[in-house]
Amino acid sequence: MIIVACPGQGSQTPGFLAPWLELEGVSETLARYSEAAEVDLELHGTRSDAETIRDTRIAQPLIVAASLIAAKALVNTAGKRPDGVAGHSVGEFAALTGAGVLSDEDAMRLVGIRGRAMAEAAGQTETGMSAVIGGDEATVLARLEELDLTAANYNGAGQIVVAGARPALAELATEPIRGTRVIGLPVAGAFHTTYMASAVDTLRAAVAQVEPNDPGITLWTNRDGSVVTSGTQALELIVDQVSSPVRWDLCMASFADAGITGLIELAPAGALAGLAKRGLRGTPTVAVKTPEDLDAAAELLNGAAA
């Protein structure tokens, strides 16, 4: 089983979309996505600096647009769809589109709304996120409770992303738990926590206007790593996900149970492929960062060795 993974916020880098614009039709597609999301994606994906694209209102549509463009290019190159798909955090919008639950324009419209709502929620309190690498999970969680921090992403492979007030994050970084490293992340808020409650309400109202389809390929959810077979349920889950933890560790466990034989991460790729190499040892992976990676991904999708 070949599974496509769609990355989440923090995976963007300045200029990462530039190589994709060399593909036929991508500029026109990006213009359409920009209108739907109300963000100038070509500008921000090619010329804006790291601080600009850190803005949640820009980062979220930018990442989903890149994954959608890479997904279409991959299918065109390989001549077939993957067996299954999952997205990390905002990447679930690209995953739902890949599974046929949402149209690409609906996904871009919704992710634009999500980005603006989460930016507004983040602006109410000075918060952030950090990755904790290594350490005993129970010890890490106990320390987070002491600092009033939340485990926002259980990423597997020895990585938990924590979120909360910046002074508490600073204290965690200054006095890290024994055997861990703490890395600040380029995101502007405590996503997947109760700080995002107002964004949940906004997104729920927007999602109510969408008529979803049931998934056409296997689709996993961040909620608990289970397979989602209903389009309506898939939309409910991506709304609730805004203020609940991402369980990518459980998604990877489900991939293993499903008999994964390869993982392809879509642009802007790297993070999820890295987690797979540690959490799904021996599984061939391809990170599709630029169009030059499409041939290797297509070979994997068609059953050749990576």
Q: What pLDDT is recorded for position 304?
A: 56
Q: How far apart are CA 253 and CA 178, in angstroms?
A: 27
CA distance 128 to 122: 9
Q: What is the CATH number of domain 127-184?
A: 3.30.70.250
Q: Are the C-beta atoms of residues 91 and 7 closer than 8 Å to each other?
A: yes
- Provide the pLDDT confidence category of residue 288 given band limits of 50, 70 and 90: very high
Determine the average pLDDT of the residues in 151-157. Answer: 94
Residue 166 pLDDT > 60: yes
What percentage of the chain carries pLDDT values higher than 70?
Answer: 99
Q: Token match 């070949």: residue? A: 2
- What is the C-alpha separation between 267 and 73, in angstroms, rounded? 11
Confidence class for position 138, pLDDT limits 50, 70, 90: very high
Instruction: Look over the chain and give the mean of its residue pLDDT values, rounded to a whole number.
Output: 95
- Scanning the structure block, which residue is given the tokens 């209903």? 230
- Report, at the CATH architecture level, how domain 2-122+193-301 is classified: 3-Layer(aba) Sandwich (3.40)
Q: Indicate the range of 183-187, 215-219, 227-231 predicted with least confidence.
A: 183-187
Q: State the Cα angle at 237 between 232 and 243, rounded to 5°.
A: 150
Q: Give the model's confidence band at 89: pLDDT under 50 very low, under 70 low, under 90 confident, else very high.
A: very high
CB-neighbour burial class of residue 264 (10 A; exposed 0-12, middle 13-18, buried 19+): buried
Confidence band, pLDDT 50/70/90 cuts, at residue 305? very low
**Could you tell me the pLDDT band of residue 188, with boundaries at 50, 70 and 90?**
confident
Active site residues: 89, 192
Per-residue pLDDT, 187 = 80
**pLDDT tens, 43-75?**
999 999 999 999 999 999 999 999 999 999 999
Predicted structure pTM score: 0.95
Mean per-residue pLDDT for 262-286?
Answer: 96
Q: Report how far apart, in Å, the C-alpha atoms of 43 and of each of 20, 31, 39, 63 are.
A: 13, 10, 9, 14
Q: Where are the domains of the chain?
A: 2-122+193-301, 127-184
Cα gap 237→252, rounded to integer Å: 18
pLDDT at residue 303, rounded to an integer: 87
Please report which residue ranges of 3-49 form alpha helices under DSSP H.
26-37, 41-46
Confidence of residue 157 (pLDDT cuts 50, 70, 90): confident
Assigned token pair, 179? 């055997």
Burial of 257 (0-12, 13-18, 19+ CB in 10 A): exposed
Strands in 218-219's sheet, in edge-to-edge order, are 218-219, 84-87, 2-6, 262-265, 285-287
CB 199 within 8 A of CB 117: yes
Q: Does 185 score more than 90 pLDDT?
A: no
Half-sphere exposure of 225 (CA within 13 A, CB side): 16
Region 97-121: what's the mean pLDDT?
97
Q: How confident is the model at residue 306 (pLDDT cuts 50, 70, 90)?
A: very low
Q: Are 202 and 164 in contact (CB under 8 A)?
A: no
The torsion angles phi and psi of 204, rounded to 5 degrees, stand at -60, -40
